Amino acid sequence: MVSGMSAALSPPSRAEAEAAAWIARLNSGARREDLDAPLRAWLAEGEGNREAFERALEAWEIIPGAALMAGAPNSGELPPDEAETPPGRQTPGRMRALAIAVASLILVVATAFLVGRIGGPDTLSVPVGEQRVATLDDGTRVSLNTGSDLVVDYREDLREVRLEAGEALFEVERDTDRPFMVIAGDERIVALGTSFVVRKLDDSVSVTLIEGSVAISRADRPGPSVVLDPGQRWSASAKAPPRIDAPPLAGVTAWREGKAVFDDTSLAEAAAEMNRYGGPEIRLSDPRLAALRVSGAFDTREPVAFAEAIAALHGLHAVRDGAGVELRRE
């Protein structure tokens, strides 16, 4: 079992079983146009269906040969009563049923494997340009942003996770007997039944409390704690002392919707934030451009559109090249 993760082999939920059936149907040779509308309707029924479908897709991809099971004949050219099934050969209907059963089993087994397959059994790693959601074995839900690494170390008396890099939204399951602690750089964040975002980039750390309560203190030595109220953000870096402000919470969590929100942010910071998500790199040809201000919400998947919008706003040129896009003065 993966330490600190939901890795026990248990029967799939209804959503997971239905997701496995959809994966099998999509890989069965059926006409995609016949499946598109009902699949969209099923996905629209709730977030649970969408998450189960995403997990099923991942599970299907990591088990070699799984797609072959769902690729059983399904042409529909010969109905069962018009064709004799050779001895030892499965009918298309039975093969489809077998494919669904295999997909369900794959989902159960791979769910345990997917959580810790990158970087060891206690590590969640998210590549640049991707995001992940995981449920720890106590029910705590963690949403990880692009380029994040999280190490989970659960013990009998303590739930500890270390954010090595990146950004995570924690929705902590309350357990008064086992405090929930996040270590990020030199900072320790302790929470009970709380929702908060921790961000660690290079030598800077920030903690934004959405609801509940957190206490922040130094991880390397004893000292007083800073207790945040909902809506407050605590931040510090090697170059700046700790400070507390109250940013719009919608902007803090906008990355979950694929957005980056800036409010009178320097162009240097905004470009660096957009570059975190991969794609064509945004560069500034002149250091003096770094101080220009940026406000608005931008799609993190469209760095070129961001650069073009900034160019139009500030009278610059957005020049594409092999390395990305460069902002230049006219």
What is the signed CA dihedral for 79, 83, 86, 90, rounded to 10 degrees? 0
What is the number of structural domains in the chain? Answer: 3
In the predicted structure, residue 119 carries a pLDDT above the cut 60 = no
Tokens of 189: 């964040």
Q: Which of helix, strand or coil describes residue 223?
A: coil
Residue at a domain's end among 232, 250, 268:
250
Task: Please report the DSSP string for 293-318 in residue order.
Answer: EEEEEEETT-HHHHHHHHHHHHTEEE
In the predicted structure, residue 17 carries a pLDDT above the cut 50 = yes
Please give the C-alpha separations between residue 105 and each of 3, 13, 71, 90, 244, in angstroms, as whole numbers: 22, 12, 17, 20, 49
How far is C-alpha 38 from the geometric centre of its chain's CA atoms? Answer: 26
Contact 25, 122 (CB under 8 A): no
Looking at the structure, tell me whether residues 130 and 110 fall in a common domain. Answer: no
Residue at a domain's end among 250, 272, 299:
250
pLDDT average, residue stretch 182-205: 93
Q: Which of 218, 257, 220 is nearest to 234 (CA)?
A: 218
pLDDT in the model for residue 315: 94
pLDDT in the model for residue 31: 65
pLDDT average, residue stretch 174-187: 93
> Residue 192 sits in which domain range?
123-250
pLDDT top residue among 105 and 203: 203
In the predicted structure, residue 44 carries a pLDDT above the cut 80 = yes
pLDDT in the model for residue 35: 74
Q: Which of 121, 106, 173, 105 is nearest to 5 (CA)?
A: 121
Residue at a domain's end among 53, 86, 116:
116
Whether 9 is covered by a domain: the verdict is no
Q: Which of helix, strand or coil describes residue 162?
A: strand
pLDDT in the model for residue 131: 95
Whether 2 is covered by a domain: the verdict is no
Looking at the structure, tell me whether residues 280 and 324 fall in a common domain. Answer: yes
pLDDT band at 83 (very low <50, low <70, confident <90, very high): very low
Q: Which of 166, 168, 158 is nearest to 192 (CA)?
A: 158
45 phi and psi angles, rounded to 5 deg: -70, -20
| Burial (Cβ within 10 Å: 0-12, 13-18, ≥19) of residue 322 | exposed
| Burial (Cβ within 10 Å: 0-12, 13-18, ≥19) of residue 38 | exposed
Instruction: Note the pTM of the prediction, 2 decimals.
Output: 0.64
Looking at the structure, tell me whether residues 221 and 146 fall in a common domain. Answer: yes
216 phi and psi angles, rounded to 5 deg: -115, 130
Q: Which of helix, strand or coil describes residue 58?
A: helix
**How high does pLDDT run on average in the chain?**
80
Q: For 296-323, write each residue's pLDDT tens digit.
A: 999 999 999 999 999 999 999 999 998 8
